[in-house]
Homo-oligomer: A and B are copies of this chain.
């Protein structure tokens, strides 16, 4: 017999339940926590969080604790919430979902023009170089402060990808620079 409680969690709800394992949090804190921990690889917005928290509460997966200062409504994970999270996690991480306009531009490079593409790659190079600097520093701090290996891994993922991006950019900056300009722009 299927009840409300059997329905599968969507990934945003699941993420919320996951983070509530750290202790009771307000919607605001959840957003901040997600942003600082998985930041670029997983995001949730305020609207979403408040919406999901209400429905999670209705389903008994979280419960509101005693209100704090400034209208704060901290939510705590319930036993049912823990179970729901576990069965969600049991199914493994789903498919990745990326939307990289830079790659769309790259693929369409012929119609965007070589010089414009070079500018775009150079701009992206700066962004990625800054990422590498920032994240490498954070990783060192995490490592020397004996942080959770999972947090270290997350930060390291960002740094690793940013470094890989740099290599890719440098390789193709050269490749693109070598293209004869005879594209279909100004034709």
Contact = CB atoms under 8 A, between A and B. Distances in A.
B107 A21 contact: no
Interface stretch (A33-41, A48-56, A66-74): A33-41
Nearest to A37: B107
B110 A89 contact: no
Interface in A95-111: 95-111
Nearest to A159: B168
Nearest to A152: B175
Nearest to A124: B93
B154 A38 contact: no
B152 A38 contact: no
A101 B42 CA distance: 7
B108 A150 contact: yes
B149 A176 contact: yes
13 contacts: A15-B104, A19-B108, A21-B111, A41-B104, A42-B98, A92-B123, A93-B124, A95-B101, A96-B98, A97-B98, A97-B100, A106-B153, A161-B161
User: Which 9 pairs show the lowest CB-CB distances between chains A and B?
Assistant: A109-B150, A93-B101, A164-B164, A41-B103, A97-B99, A21-B111, A18-B108, A41-B100, A153-B172
